[in-house]
Amino acid sequence: MDEYINCFGCGSKSLNIDGETHEYMLSSTGCWIMFCEVLEREYSDFNYAKAHHYTVDAYTTQHVGNENDVRAINSVNIHLASLYMMFERNLDIIDAADFKMNFSQFYKGSGDLVWLEPPISFGNLTIYELWDNNNPELHFSLAEKWAKSVWNSWEKHHQTISRLANNFLNKK
Ligand SMILES: [Zn+2]
């Protein structure tokens, strides 16, 4: 059996193992496991922790799930909006949690968050590069590069996300 396969969600080199995955953020099992292991590092070590929102936003927007699942649709919109705020509006990464919570509350049940057809390619970085790196000094910059490259890959929806984020900022 091959040690690695490509994740059908993000294309990442991922561990070839069987098991459960996230309910609507669909991925290969190995990709999900690598994500969980990276989160464990971020929860247990301050040097890793500061990159947390980059990791979560990048991973979520590389695993779009099913277009009929409203949880998947909301999730992609919310995490893309967070990437927009961090990369285009200079939102500090530590404020991303509040932004996501308030943005999500604002649009809850509104019907304004819709399925966004994903790009053909999500860029050339994935969870694999983060998972494979054991140098805490490099973790943050790798996560930032990954998040930025995922945000760029969604270019055809940048206007939509910017409109949603600005509508929220103007009316909140
Ligand atoms: Zn994946």
Per-residue pLDDT of the chain (172 residues; tens, 9 = 90+): 789 999 999 999 999 999 989 989 999 999 999 999 999 999 999 999 999 999 999 999 999 999 999 999 999 999 999 999 999 999 999 999 999 999 999 999 999 999 999 999 999 999 999 999 999 999 999 999 999 999 999 999 999 999 999 999 999 7
pLDDT of residue 6: 96
Is the distance from CB of 116 to CB of 157 less than 8 angstroms? yes
Instruction: Give the number of C-alpha atoms closer than 13 A to the C-alpha of residue 64, restricted to the C-beta side.
Output: 17
Q: How far is the CA of 54 from the centre of ligand 1 (A)?
A: 15
Q: How far is the CA of 24 from the centre of ligand 1 (A)?
A: 13
Q: Where are the domains of the chain?
A: 4-171
pLDDT of residue 2: 87
Q: How far is the CA of 10 from the centre of ligand 1 (A)?
A: 4
Is the distance from CB of 127 to CB of 39 less than 8 angstroms? no
Q: How far is the CA of 71 from the centre of ligand 1 (A)?
A: 18
Cα–Cα distance for residue pair 48/46, rounded to 1 Å: 5
pLDDT of residue 152: 98
pLDDT of residue 127: 98
Return phi, psi of residue 43, to 5°.
-80, -25
Q: How far is the CA of 12 from the centre of ligand 1 (A)?
A: 5
Distances (CA, A) of 2 to 17, 20, 117, 125, 159: 10, 19, 31, 21, 41
Amino acid residing at 89: R
